[in-house]
Amino acid sequence: MSVPVSLRRLVRPLLVLLLLVGMAVPALALSQRVQLRVDGAVTQVRTYGTTVADVLADQGVEMAAGDEVVPAPSVPLEDGTVIRILRSIDVVLEVDGEVRTVRGAFRTVEGALEEAGVEVADGQLVEPAPRTPVDHGARVVVTSPDTVTITADGSSRTVRTHLASVGRLLRVHGVTLGEQDLLNHDRDDAVVDGLEVVVRRVDSDSETEEVELEFATETRDTAELFRGETRVAQQGEMGLRVDTYELTLVDGEVTERERVSKDVVREPVPRIVEEGTTTRPPPVATRMADDGSVWYDLAQCESGGRWNHDGRYDGGLQFHPDTWNRWKPAGAPQYAWQASPQVQIQAGQRLQANQGWSPWPSCARRLGLL
């Protein structure tokens, strides 16, 4: 039986399609399902390749220096293999002022330090923190602590610090500055290794001081003295002034002293000296020789002319009892006041002949005898 031409035309394409499907089923069974992750972007891939390198080639993934692929390119594929590709980045690393660029397939500060072979020592500060993520062009700074000496309130201490300014250093270490306190650096000055920070405490106080005021000397005339004679009528007395001072103290030591007030609490008393104005009488030698009246003048000066004056010094010429008993004439009474003026004058003449007029210094001078 013959097959119609139209049927033959329909059967032929069907046979070809069945042949192709039959060939595709075994081929699909031989492919692998792979997950490709590039910098976090995920792609599902079915491949006939046998290694990681085959997948990268099929997907047109190019590797640059420093890029990292896990598993390694030579690792055989298995169904469900996850291939991770981490592109390398550049990070600027500064260690105690030394700057360099680190390139690698890392994504954290800690990874950058490991790539650079930097081991962080105890006390070193890492900014940003080690677990902080980093991108291309990030900057990582590692600084060692500075050794600083702080001197304040009579003591010194040495600290290790990462603080940037002098003001912050003092605040952190509990040193409070008063408005007048002195600091050997500006608060904004940078902290560097070996820095010495000195705080000097400034305080104020007051004190008083007593000052003696000199007295003046005044001169006055008196007719009670002969010319050339003087006597002190009033003793001088020192006055007193209290001065008040404001003090500035630096660390307890006075650096400035300013007088702010002067108060006179006692005025000085002047010293008064009297000078004689009376003309001295002429010499009495003639009177002495003639009638002895000079002794009456002397008694008038010494005792007011009271020949019977009884006291510590008695008689008109004011004899001390011991002096009287030494110079009285024989047979004279025991005390001068008991004797007559003539007997007292005899004793006076005997004393004057031996000692001059010095036993009666003031009156003898007034009478011109000295």
Instruction: Read off the pLDDT of residues 67-114 as tens digits, 9 standing for 90 and up.
Output: 889 898 999 999 989 998 888 899 999 998 899 999 988 889 999 999
Could you count the other beta carbons within 10 Å of the beta carbon of residue 100? 11
> Minimum mean pLDDT among 71-85, 168-182, 281-295: which range?
281-295
Instruction: Read off the pLDDT of residues 220-239 as tens digits, 9 standing for 90 and up.
Output: 999 878 888 899 999 999 99
What separation, in Å, do the N-terminal and C-terminal C-alpha atoms of the chain show?
202
Which letter does DSSP use for residue 1 in this model? -
pTM of the model: 0.48
- Scanning the structure block, which residue is given the tokens 């390198």? 53
Euclidean distance between CA atoms 137 and 302, whole angstroms: 123
Does pLDDT of 30 surpass 90? Answer: no
Instruction: Read off the pLDDT of residues 122-142 as tens digits, 9 standing for 90 and up.
Output: 889 999 999 999 999 999 999
What pLDDT shows up at residue 169? Answer: 94
Instruction: Determine contact, residues 113/130, Cβ cutoff 8 Å.
Output: yes
Share in percent of the chain as helix, strand, coil (round to 5): 25, 35, 35
Mean per-residue pLDDT, 12-26: 50
How is residue 347 written in tokens?
């004793």
Q: Which three-class secondary structure state does DSSP give residue 294?
A: helix
Whole-number average pLDDT of the chain: 87
Query: How confident is residue 172, by pLDDT bands cut at 50, 70 and 90?
Result: very high
Instruction: Determine contact, residues 61/108, Cβ cutoff 8 Å.
Output: no
> Minimum mean pLDDT among 62-66, 116-120, 323-327: which range?
62-66
Query: How confident is residue 21, by pLDDT bands cut at 50, 70 and 90?
Result: very low
What pLDDT shows up at residue 269? Answer: 96
Which long-range contacts does 22-25 make (Cβ < 8 Å, 24+ apart)? Answer: none
Strand positions, DSSP E, 67-138: 68-70, 82-86, 89-95, 98-104, 125-127
Query: How confident is residue 66, by pLDDT bands cut at 50, 70 and 90?
Result: confident
Q: Using alpha carbons, select from 280, 291, 286, 308 the residue that is nearest to residue 364.
A: 280
Q: Using alpha carbons, select from 97, 98, 95, 184 the residue that is nearest to residue 148.
A: 184
The more confidently predicted of residues 146 and 22 is 146
How is residue 119 written in tokens?
């081991």
Give residue 23's region: left, alpha or beta (phi > 0; psi -120 to 50). Answer: alpha
Query: How confident is residue 288, by pLDDT bands cut at 50, 70 and 90?
Result: very low
Does pLDDT of 28 surpass 50? Answer: no
Q: Using alpha carbons, select from 97, 125, 128 the residue that is nearest to residue 111.
A: 128
Euclidean distance between CA atoms 67 and 87, whole angstroms: 5
Q: Which three-class secondary structure state does DSSP give residue 105?
A: coil
Does pLDDT of 337 surpass 80? Answer: yes
Query: In percent, how much of the chain has pLDDT > 90?
Result: 64
